[in-house]
Structure 1
Amino acid sequence: MPLSHTVPRRLLHMRDIRLSGYEREDGLMDVEAHMTDIKTYSASNIDRNGIQAGEPLHDMWLRMTLTQELEIVACEAAMDATPYSICPGVAPNFERLKGLVIGKGFLTQAAQRVRGVEGCTHLRELIQQVATVAYQTRQGLRKPTDKSAPAHHLGAEPRLARGLLNSCYAHDEAGPIAARARPAPAEDENR
């Protein structure tokens, strides 16, 4: 069901974010984010001699390579379009996320490593989204015993990770999803 109808309006700005999770042949996974900001009107810009309507104001990438335990073993950022010519100089700083584990406290730790002038507002915004997609990607990874099927099995309700309990409306521990999915025992959480 789409949003309700609104009054006539004029589109001014579009932000597109595409996130993709990949299983790598070496047993790791890559999660990539690609973000673009595009204006429907031309704007003045000294560093780029103006930005034409439809031309990206921002065109940025962030890739995290992770273990199945969600430890970041590599992080790469790239900036194909920025409003200022100096912006791409900060991209290497995102390598500082290497060694962090996506889990409790991750966003705070990540923000400390690339905060303020040591980072980029737009790339920092992608960190949380990449972390969420990492969880989603991990669910589909093949286990060593699988031939070609993903780790999940169709028709069977997967167990609900304890960390998801009470994290949203659907995962209410007193609700029907938790009752049906049976939370995983604590010892299963780190597999």
Structure 2
Amino acid sequence: MSIFDKLDKTKIHTRQISTETYVVDEDYLLVEGVLKDDRTKVSRRSTGELIPAGTIHHMVIRLLLKLPSLGIEDLEVEIISAPYPDCLETCEVMNGMKGVSISSGFSKKVRSIAGGPRGCAHLVSLLLAMGQAAFQGFWTHESTNTNQDNIYSEERLRFLEGTCWAWRRGGKLQQTLLEKIQL
């Protein structure tokens, strides 16, 4: 039993981020992400007004991704619930993500385009999670594609190399794939 299981605690907030990836056709994937923040108690806004318990943020982003580059061809942002009317104005800044590929440097690009005072921290959090999920969806699609001629390729290695500790340069997985490419 964990020490955290023994603590006397009262839940006050739940954040759920979910993503789903769909194959549209041989050229496109659709990734849909949902962020939902729920508060279990009445709270106050920074400006002092009371906020009832319940959903404070409920946002959806849909990305149409071009294969195999994972370039964002189109996107849609839906803010179902937000604490302030001004929050709705941040949807447009997300259009700056069109044309960006989900690849190395994606997180930095998201923060630079949609973060800070011109954007929404919640949409940025959702989009960052969606980038990782899109990558997983892409690999699921690729690994189930029975027409794939070149499972061991330098392109695949470049896509994976340096993405995490397991795929670090010089690591066991990188070396194994490199050996299979050279066969």
Give the shorter-chain TM-score range.
Answer: 0.7 to 0.9
Closer, same or farther: CA 112–182 of 1 in aligned 2, 3 Å: same
State the Cα distance separating 1:113 from its structure 2 match: 2.1
| Paired residues of 2:59 and 2:80 also in contact (CA < 8 A) | yes
Question: Match of 2:2?
Answer: 4
Q: Which amino acid aligns with 2:157?
A: A
Change (3 A) 1:9 1:64: same
| Partner residue in 2 for 1:99 | 99
Is the alpha carbon distance of 1:128 and 1:45 closer, same or farther for their aligned partners in structure 2, counting shifts above 3 Å? Answer: closer
Q: Which residue of 2 aligns with 1:127?
A: 127
| Greater helix proportion | 2
Alignment of 1:132-143 (within 5 A): 132-141=132-141
Give the drift of 1:62. 1.3
Q: Percent identity?
A: 23
2:144 equivalent in structure 1: 150
The 2-side partners of 1:184 and 1:88 are apart by 50
Shift of the alpha carbon at 1:182?
4.2
Aligned equivalent of 2:157, options 156, 161, 171: 161
The 5-angstrom pairing of residues 80-91 of structure 1 reads 80-91=80-91
Tell me the TM-score normalised to structure 2 length: 0.77
The two structures have a TM-score, normalised by structure 1, of: 0.75
Q: Is the 8 A contact 1:140 1:152 kept in 2?
A: no
How far apart, in 2, do the equivalents of 1:176 and 1:26 lie? 32
Distance 1:51 1:117 in 2: 23
| Alpha-carbon shift at residue 80 of structure 1 (Å) | 0.8
Whether the 8 Å CA contact 1:152–1:158 is kept in 2: the answer is no
Look up the match of 2:63: 64
Q: Deviations over 1:88-131 (max 9, x none)?
A: 12112211110111222222233222232321011011222111
Check conservation: 1:162, 1:183, Cα contact below 8 A.
Answer: no
**Structure 1 residues 74-83 or 4-13, which shifts more?**
4-13
CA contact (8 A) 1:39 1:57 kept: yes
Where is the strand percentage greater, Structure 1 or Structure 2? 2
Does the residue aligned with 1:17 lie in a helix, a strand or coil? strand
Q: Is the 8 A contact 2:17 2:33 kept in 1?
A: yes
Shift of 1:175: 4.7
Query: Measured at CA, do residues 185 and 179 of structure 1 come closer, stay the same or move farther in structure 2, by a change above 3 Å?
Result: closer
CA–CA separation in structure 2 for the residues paired with 1:66 and 1:19: 14
The answer to whether residue 20 in structure 2 is matched with residue 20 in structure 1 is yes
